[in-house]
Structure 1
Amino acid sequence: MDKGNLYICGTPIGNLEDISLRTLRILKEVDYIAAEDTRRTQNLLNHYEVETSMVSYHEHNEEKRSLQIIERLKSGENIALVSDAGMPGISDPGYKLVSLVDKEGIRAIPVPGPTAMTAALVASGLPTDKFIFEGFLPRKSKQRKDRLKELSPETRTIVFYESPYRLKESLESILDILGERRIAVWREITKRFEEKVSGKVSEVLAHFEAEDPKGEFTIVLDGIDVDQIQQKDAAWKGLSILEHLELLMDKGVTKKEAIKLVAKERGLPKREVYEEAIQIEVNKK
């Protein structure tokens, strides 16, 4: 018996019109739909008169349900996987199932659709040629700040998701750790009360400090300019390679990133800088 296919379907993140004809066809043709929130997905199905049955698939039953889905795919059934909104697996359940499907030799077929991160990015006004997606920042203050310190030398545009309950704290941490940069914060993107607030981090923070944030947020943050790093740390020109490394690491830059930056700023091979970096561990012993 031939195995079935798992269709990874992107669904609207707000506006119900943001769905492809292919997605609608597949949702109608599959044997059933695995949905993160069956009540929310039911609204979408009702809107487009899709009568396919559903089963819940979310973070609390992901492990058990994945095994059940695998068995049904092995029996030849075709299944569509949808999340609350957007593409399954992007800060939503789905990764574990797709990983298991891949190991079983079952086809996982992507059916592209909207994602908040790319929608916010392309309309942010910030560079789009190179970017990284960080999902949600850690909830606890120390862990959040530690992660931002690790991102401090990042030159690419950075995209985050954030809840309304931690938005102000995250913006404060960004300003404290990363300093003033260009930023664009989208609230409820593609939805009725869509709003974009952009400018410097301090300006955007002041905007949200004056109100009680509500809705779902996507943050697009400018990466650091390499020229700014060089100007800011011009004092390194009087330092040895080892001292230069320690200067950056004292500011929260990881050793790996410090090696890359020092090699770039000094025009040296990374191997040469790495050999000096070994001394940091030796000196600590």
Structure 2
Amino acid sequence: MDAPLSPGLYIVATPIGNLGDITLRAIATLRGVAAVACEDTRITGKLLHYLQIKQKLIRYDDHASEATRDHILALASEQPVALVSDAGTPLISDPGFKLVRAARERGVSVTSLPGPSAAIMALTLAGLPSDRFLFAGFLPSKDKARRDALRGLASVEATLVLYETAPRLADALAAIGEELPGREVAVARELTKRFEECRTGSTAGLIAHYAANPPKGEIALVIAPPGEPAAVEHDIDALLRAALATDKASQAAAAVAKTTGLDRKVLYARALELK
């Protein structure tokens, strides 16, 4: 039998797709707390049903009121309370920062249970330098703001890890190709699920692939740091054909040259052959 939990706030990581990734410690904690603060009671309710755990759920998301936060902290000062997000580790592009900060300010014990994180999983799959990395969350949805954000990250001497949505993937890759030219990029999607994929290459090559194979699901982007060798694209013809679908030969050659670092004149000559 598990020992009773002490009062405090317990940050519990939950699966990002495969329910088998829940840890034994997470299960024991979710079973042993007085309540679970969560983003969406329906999603957390399904997880608890799968685990055969009945718990009081308190909705806590980015729009939660100060009164809700005070209620959770008052409860955590006397009893154990868990904080979970819809998937993955709370606070990593998920709600919880204000709650944890307030808990520490009020002397409420905070315990974090390690577990699934899409950002870390994508980094380990990408085959890019992992000794130094920066997680920058979601890029802005508006084009100018997105490009401004990328320019601000351009000089960071580390691998970049970002989150993105499937409908915005093409726009994000195009912006990365222009603001961070020549960098290898990995697209990691559907992590831990049946159709898990981690595809690496140049932004032009990835744009061409996903134009033909529209992506679904949550996406993590991993971008090589500055100074790394430019992405090697094994099928330059595929890149040129994709660019020629909308651009003139000279424009297609310039776009592929900017992305891959290859000689524009050579690419232009090949583009003319492909037309």
Q: TM-score range by the shorter chain?
A: 0.7 to 0.9
Query: Shift of residue 135 of structure 1?
Result: 0.2
Query: Shift of residue 211 of structure 1?
Result: 3.5
Q: Work out the CA distance in 2 between the residues paired with 1:46 and 1:227.
A: 48
Query: Shift of residue 226 of structure 1?
Result: 7.4
Matched position secondary structure for 2:46: helix
Q: Work out the CA distance in 2 between the residues paired with 1:197 and 1:227.
A: 17
What are the residue-to-residue correspondences of 1:40-51 with 2, within 5 Å? 40-51=43-54
Partner of 2:243: none
CA contact (8 A) 1:163 1:215 kept: yes
Q: Work out the CA distance in 2 between the residues paired with 1:122 and 1:41.
A: 27
Partner of 1:116: 118
What are the residue-to-residue correspondences of 1:1-285 with 2, within 5 Å? 4-74=7-77, 76-225=78-227
Q: Work out the CA distance in 1 between the residues paired with 2:109 and 2:81.
A: 11
Change (3 A) 1:177 1:46: same
Which runs of 5 or more structure 2 residues have no equivalent in the other structure?
1-5, 231-275
Q: Work out the CA distance in 2 between the residues paired with 1:218 and 1:73.
A: 33
Matched position secondary structure for 1:217: strand
Q: Percent identity?
A: 42
CA contact (8 A) 2:38 2:86 kept: yes
CA contact (8 A) 2:134 2:159 kept: yes
Q: Work out the CA distance in 2 between the residues paired with 1:161 and 1:45.
A: 26
Task: Supply the AA of the counterpart residue of 2:137.
Answer: G
CA contact (8 A) 1:188 1:217 kept: yes
Query: Shift of residue 192 of structure 1?
Result: 2.3
Partner of 1:243: none
CA contact (8 A) 2:41 2:57 kept: yes
**Alignment RMSD:** 1.6
Change (3 A) 1:163 1:153: same
CA contact (8 A) 2:183 2:229 kept: no
User: Normalising by structure 1, what TM-score?
Assistant: 0.76
Change (3 A) 1:183 1:62: farther
Q: Work out the CA distance in 1 between the residues paired with 2:101 and 2:85.
A: 16
Count of residues in correspondence between the two structures: 225
CA contact (8 A) 2:84 2:90 kept: yes
Query: Shift of residue 62 of structure 1?
Result: 4.9
